[in-house]
Amino acid sequence: MLFARKVWHLLVAIKDGLVLFFMLLFFIMLYGALTARPSAGLVKDGALLIKLNGSLVEEPAESDPLELLMGGAPIREYRTRDVVRAIKLAAKDDRIKAVVLDLSSFTGGGLVNVEEVAAAMDEARAAKKPVLTYAIAYLDDSLMLAAHASEAWVHPMGGAAIAGPGGNQTYYAGLLERFKVKVHIYKVGTYKDFVEPYLLDRASAPSKEARTALLESVFDNWLANVSKARPKAQYAQVAKDPVTWVKASNGDLAQAALKAGMVDKLGDAVEFGERVKQLAGKDGSSKQPGSYAHSGMGALLAAHPADQDGKAIAVVTVAGTIIDGKAGPGTAGGDRITRLIDEANADDAAALVLRIDSPGGSALASEQVRGAVDRFKAKGKPVAVSFANVAASGGYWIATGGNRIFAQPSSVTGSIGIFAIMPSFEGTLAQYGITSDGVRTTPLSGQPDVMGGFTPETHVLMQGAIESGYRRFIDLVSKARGKTPEQVDAIAQGRAWDGGTARQNGLVDQFGGLDDALAWAAKQAKLETWHARHYGGEADPYASLLERLGGGEEDSAGQGGDMFAQMALREQAKQSRALAQLSWLGEVRGAQALCLDCPVPAGGMRLEKQSNWLLKLATVLGIG
């Protein structure tokens, strides 16, 4: 029996050992699958194929694993600098015979982002590499990319249209009055119109004045860009009189786009692929019609790792709404951005470049980030600020910490103002027989009381705090820009400016992009060799698997479609923004430096996932 027991224990041990071995092997394989990245060996002779199945952004938001596992298909976001770098690499890589941008599911991006990609396309063409675009329907952002292509193709059942920036804003004053909701507004700035949708039923005269000037300037920059790229195309005429343009082609938008010179060829995806095959060669691994030899963007980037020579210049991106906390990437959580700047400071980075693409947000979080910039400068190291599409309100607050500000003519900035919004529901609740009563030891006891109403002393305190915050904002800009507070106040008042006017007003030092800001920082730090180190952009080890769950790099994300589908997608983004504005009342927020006028990219806006007590109250009362 003793021998049999020993044999049994030996067999159990062997079994347990094998189980542990195979479990370890399984997790090693799983880790490999999760962290697998494109291989440099995947680059082959042929075309560089970039399928933009989503929007161009400065900083992609993290994928939600639960949403993907539940079958969700979020719109993808592509880091602009990755797309730009891939196209520039293609211009120099002898294996790449042509650059192809499939824009069938492209949902747009900020104007500066699109301009940067277009400029990279020009570099590829200057290197004698054909650059081709294909789409079912072209709208403003994709039209700019098509303008810079050597060949722009459109589906015969598709077409093109120029919408231009702007459109209607949704106003909620009538709805709030109907339900007896009081909205208490505390603000400084004649043009700080973020609060207007909650107070008025239409835009005020100052709001329309500022918005008209801003959007017309932005559109003029778009028109100048595409017209320079394609001088013979009739962009201005199409934008001014689309009805006559369409009728001249009997409603055929594809033919109309061809006649106007906005596209070069009509054809479906197979015909387009056959054309690329003539330039790049056939795909020996596929028998599908229209297939051609190509490599993906990820493989090309992997084949050309970024230079790491010399001292590091830290690059920290401030993208999205600025909020308190650790949120991001894709949203500028004050704690997270501050930590990244302090980390770069601790790493003894030679200089810092802030890349800002934000309409603003929390004044407290903005000041927190600016404080981290001051700590970096305290070591005698230069700080450059590079504006992308938008650097307004809280975004400009942060920028005051820099030594030099770079922007593009299409960048939107300014909106120097501050406000706070707080609703109260005493009138709403009274309709349902709900009242408030109690005892106060001071005028501020229990205040602000969103259920029972605000005391007069509360209003005075809140407005005083906002005015003090505005004075601090003005003082920061005054010291940073070498102006008197009175001079700053004259160009502040919450008004947003295009980059060109902002430069004339002294809010911007010079035109230029991120590369120009890096070069300036290197010169100030007296560096002969250096490299950019991007903080906060580390790859998520699970991202590779999540990307495959949502479709591969070259798979369509399902947002494509004809002209009607593309326009509907833009409208859907506008509806999402309207709902976000209404629910904004129910969020717990402090003083805000946020811009309403700033154009929202066609890709839409990210909604903050927070618990909204206003919606819960509406549900309880049956008014949701």
Q: What pLDDT is recorded for position 541?
A: 47
Nearest to 415 by CA among 495, 485, 487, 488: 495
Residue 239 counted as domain residue: yes
Q: Which residues are catalytic?
A: 192, 393
Any domain includes 310: no
Q: What confidence score (pLDDT) does residue 371 get?
A: 97
Q: To which H or E segment does residue 395 belong?
A: helix 394-399
pLDDT at position 328 = 82
CA angle 291, 292, 295 (to 5 degrees): 120
pLDDT averaged over every residue in the chain: 85
- What is the tally of helices (H) and strands (E) in the chain? 24, 23
The overall longest dimension of the chain from CA atoms, in Å, is 100
Q: Which two tokens stand for residue 119?
A: 């400029």
Q: pLDDT value at position 605?
A: 44
Q: Is 329 helix (H, G, I), strand (E, B) or coil?
A: coil
* pLDDT for 557: 44
Domain assignment present for 358? no
Which helix (DSSP H) or strand (DSSP E) does residue 573 occupy? helix 563-583
Q: What local confidence, expressed as pLDDT, does residue 469 receive? A: 92
Q: Tell me 453's DSSP state.
A: B
pLDDT digit string, tens, across residues 554-566? 554 445 566 656 6
- In the numeric block, which tokens belong to residue 186? 């505390």
- Global pTM value: 0.87
Burial of residue 124 (number of CB atoms within 10 Å: 0-12, 13-18, 19+): buried
Q: What would the two tokens of residue 259 be?
A: 């006649």
Residues paired with residue 313 on neighbouring β-strands, in sequence order: 351, 532
Our measurement of the distance from residue 354's CA atom to the centroid of its chain's CA atoms, rounded to an integer in Å, reads 15
pLDDT < 70: residue spans in the chain: 1-13, 15-41, 63-75, 537-590, 596-624
For 277, list phi and psi in degrees, rounded to 5: -60, -35
Residue 288 lies in domain: 40-166+221-303
**Number of domains making up the chain:** 1
Domain presence at residue 542: no
Q: What is the 3-state composition of the chain as percent helix, strand, coil, each rounded to the nearest 5?
A: 45, 20, 35
DSSP state of 506: T
Residue 234 resides in a domain: yes
Q: Is residue 432 part of a domain?
A: no
Residue 252 lies in a domain: yes
73 domain-assigned: yes
CATH number at residue 50: 3.90.226.10
